[in-house]
Amino acid sequence: MSIPEVGNGALRANVSGASSTEIGAGGVYSGEIDMRPFARGVIFTPDDWTNADVAFTVANELVADGGVYYPLYDEAGALVETTVGTKVDSAFVLPVELAGCRFFRLWSQSAGVDVLQVAARTIYYSLKT
């Protein structure tokens, strides 16, 4: 997936470029995404996405370093999620609540209940400072 340049490229100076993560077949969690140098971002849902919304689990360390992921809730106690459902081949802005997180994973779910992706799904994303 190619992300187009904007103007003279000045607006893209602090953009991560197109990266990807995967939710495995029969899985609900993506790989770990390092948010440390970034504050905003966008995810791109694939055309074969199984009907589900995306919530976020966060950790202070990578799993390899002993990190444990927890669901992300906002200040009102609501699960932080992006309503995707059946909207495939679409782009979604990452929620502002992720700005303070070091690492996150995408979570395929509906109302906090796991929704298995029936096949491996590659999700592209772009992050910005």
| Angular region, 84: left φ>0, alpha ψ -120 to 50, beta rest | alpha
Contact status, residue 57 vs residue 67, Cβ threshold 8 Å: no
Query: How do the domains of the chain map onto residue ranges?
Result: 17-128
Instruction: State pLDDT tens for residues 34-56.
Output: 998 888 999 999 999 999 999 99
Q: What is the pLDDT of residues 88-114, one digit of tens each?
A: 888 999 999 999 899 999 999 999 999
Pick the CATH number of 17-128 from 3.40.50.12780, 3.40.30.10, 2.60.120.260, 3.30.160.270: 2.60.120.260
Is residue 121 predicted with pLDDT exceeding 90?
A: yes
